[in-house]
Chain A
Amino acid sequence: MTWQTLLLGLGLCLLLLCVALSLALGSRTVPLSTVIEAALGRRTGAGPDAQVVTGLRLPRTVLGLVVGAALGVAGAVAQGVTRNPLASPTTLGVNAGASFAVVTAIYALHLSRPVEYVWFAVAGAGLAGLAAQVTARRAGGLDPTRLALGGTVLTAVLASWTSALMLASRRTLDEARFWLAGSLDGRGLEVLVPVWPLLLAGLALAVAVAPALNALALGEETAQALGVPVSRIRTAAALAVVLLAAGAVAAAGPVAFVGLAAPHLVRSLLGGDQRWLVPGCALAGPILLLAADVLGRLVARPSELEAGVVTAFLGAPLLAVLARRAAR
């Protein structure tokens, strides 16, 4: 009990550090005093340095926090409900749906600003997520294996169509590839406006089903005997994943690796209890994403690397090392 709280506390400290770094570091060198004053709301709008902090870095950091937490929690729930370590929010077809919708919109409607993509991403993600659930419906409940398989198949199909569209139109490829890499840059806080309700609903559902997912980990029959309404819990959990992941992908583009890696990282530290996994992933997700974002700003100065790309570079060795250390 205590050591888990301790680890969560440590995680919180680490997250705060990431937030601070995200505000302080970037391609433009801003004196620390200015960062602190601007972040605290003093001298707002005074000088270009403060403008960078409040106008660019602050929204970006908030976005990283929200998206990272959403992806982390979605990953924890996705692996919990499918009981498959290979599962992630991506597995349910959400990212592929959003990508396809956005690329189609760029192709057909000639959109060019991430803010304009949001609604298409939400719609595409939601539709694909629901479609994956429809394929997995079985005798009134969700079959977890088929949910994972159906979602993966759907992802493969949508991803290949997305590629086909981009190959058919050079302009689409040029516009879409930056969005598809997943980035916190240049989004602005207005992308969060339409997705807030989704994220909050998803988070509430995820927290609510956590104890029941613990029971489900013991097997369907045991869960039933413990009074868990198995099919309803599965549906609710899958819905939570879709809501969270749809919100995240709409805001930041398809960042794939956070949702996959965060639960594994947290599990190796806190154990498999879903009630610890959810808050743990809510911390680990943004830590990973913000750290990646900060790193992406630093390594390629004065240019930047997309956070979606750097997350994988950062998280992959971490995952490999942790897997190596894990007992089995």
Chain B
Amino acid sequence: MNRRTVLCCLAAAVLLPALTATALSLGQVAMSPATALRALFGFGQGGDVLVVREFRAPRVLAALIAGGALAVSGRLLQRLFRNPLASPDVIGVTGGASFGAVLLLALGASQLMIPLAALGGGLVAAGLLGGFAWRSRAAVGRLVLVGLAVQAGLAAAVNLMIVRFPAELASSALQWTTGSLYGRTWTEVRAGGTAVAVLLVAALLLDRRAAVLDLGDESAGGLGLRPDRARLQILLLAIALASLAAALSGPVGFVALAVPHLVRLLAGPPTPGTLLLTALTGALLLLGADVLVLHLLPLRGLPVGAATATLGAPWLLFLLTRHDRSAP
């Protein structure tokens, strides 16, 4: 792990609790970040504990988990496809999750079912991708094209529903597809958090294989790796992470696209260390955006996806231009 990665990880590790505490402390019942952090673990006044643990913590934790999962999913896919534009959009997961969620909205199902619908939709889309693209070998070009097709079809279905819905329903559908952390529960956060943690460990373990895969199929084969099998493992991981994230926060596409690039520009080429940094940065970005729309901006009801993109884009573009000048 190089020095810049370590420094960035340290910075992220300091920022993360600070931002979490701030996020927990903001709201109608004002308290200091330190009080909020104590209340999260059940210490302090009963009222504070109730507000923090019951109302604020699920949303904050959901943002952290979803942000990290989205960012890692984007990184896995960009590396796998060797394409800087890859993100869960490309494999249809975003479209599938949106389709599932919006469909259930249309059917009038309860809010509690939406995350499950998103998760299911994402996995179904991945299944469609597999059904069409898998043909004993996982050629990258075919995966990408079929993924695009699945995504386009599902996105069109969502679009159609938004156009056809009554305005009220169209609005909540649009809200969800832009990204929304509203109404998260502890159950969702616990289940999602556990699953994402397991998948992150798996991603770290598979990082070695990803590095060997970077050498091209021939060299990877010569080193005893089955390229197709390794690709499948990584792809499944990315799909699961993106679907879980979509269930928690809606498909915030920008995190998955931009965070891997941010990390690459900050800390250099992919290593297990930068994988960790990617997760941390994604979590920070999504939570920061959520704090922004929830507490700092005068506009009510701004979707978190809008803030994420607005917050992340200038940063990414700045790094891109700076990186450019230092390049040979």
Contact = CB atoms under 8 A, between A and B. Distances in A.
Nearest to A153: B313
Contact of A174 (B132, B153, B167): B167
Interface of chain A, main secondary structure: helix
A318 to B, nearest CB: 8
Contacts, number: 170
A156 B254 contact: yes
A160 B308 contact: yes
B96 interface: no
Given A86-B90, A167-B175, A173-B167, A323 B324 contact: no
B313 A167 contact: no
A305 interface: yes
A198 interface: no
B141 A145 contact: no
A326 interface: yes
A187 interface: no
A312 B155 contact: yes
A150 interface: yes
A81 interface: no
Interface string B136-157: 0001011011101110110111
Interface in B142-186: 142, 144-146, 148-150, 152-153, 155-157, 159-160, 162-163, 167, 170-171, 174-175, 177-179
Given A86-B83, A154-B313, A156-B253, A163 B148 contact: no
B142 A135 contact: no
Nearest to B316: A153
A164 B180 CA distance: 12
B294 interface: no
Contact of B159 (A86, A160, A309, A323): A309
B257 A312 contact: no
A328 B310 contact: no
B320 A135 contact: yes
Given A261-B152, A319-B148, A149 B84 contact: yes
Nearest to B145: A323
A264 B142 CA distance: 11
Given A148-B84, A170-B171, A305 B148 contact: no
Interface string B286-328: 0000000000000101110110111001001100110010000
A180 B163 CA distance: 9
> Contact size class for B?
35 or more
A323 B143 CA distance: 8
B178 A323 contact: no
A312 B148 CA distance: 10
A177 interface: yes
A312 B153 contact: yes
Nearest to B87: A152
A326 B84 CA distance: 23
Interface in A276-328: 305-306, 308-313, 315-324, 326, 328
A85 interface: yes
Contacts of B253: 156
Nearest to A183: B163
Nearest to A131: B317
B163 A86 contact: no
Contact of B156 (A164, A180, A313): A313
B86 interface: yes
Contacts of B324: 138, 143, 146
B66 interface: no
B303 A160 contact: yes
A305 B160 contact: yes
A54 interface: no
A160 B310 contact: yes
Interface in A251-271: 256-257, 260-261, 264
A316 B302 CA distance: 32
Contacts of B317: 135, 150, 153
Interface in A127-172: 135, 138, 143, 145-146, 148-150, 152-154, 156-157, 159-161, 163-164, 166-168, 170
Nearest to B304: A160
B85 A152 contact: yes
A323 B133 contact: yes
A-B pairs, top 7 by smallest CB distance, nearest first, are A312-B156, A316-B153, A323-B145, A160-B306, A319-B149, A163-B178, A164-B306
14 contacts: A86-B144, A86-B148, A87-B85, A148-B84, A161-B306, A164-B178, A170-B167, A174-B167, A174-B170, A177-B163, A316-B149, A317-B153, A323-B133, A324-B142
Interface of A: 84-87, 91, 135, 138, 143, 145-146, 148-150, 152-154, 156-157, 159-161, 163-164, 166-168, 170, 173-174, 177-178, 180-181, 256-257, 260-261, 264, 305-306, 308-313, 315-324, 326, 328
Interface of B: 83-86, 90, 132-133, 135, 139, 141-142, 144-146, 148-150, 152-153, 155-157, 159-160, 162-163, 167, 170-171, 174-175, 177-179, 253-254, 257-258, 261, 299, 301-303, 305-306, 308-310, 313, 316-317, 320-321, 324
Given A86-B85, A163-B303, A305-B160, 19 more contacts: A85-B144, A138-B324, A143-B324, A145-B84, A149-B84, A150-B320, A163-B306, A164-B299, A164-B303, A167-B302, A181-B162, A260-B148, A312-B153, A313-B156, A315-B152, A317-B149, A319-B145, A324-B132, A324-B135
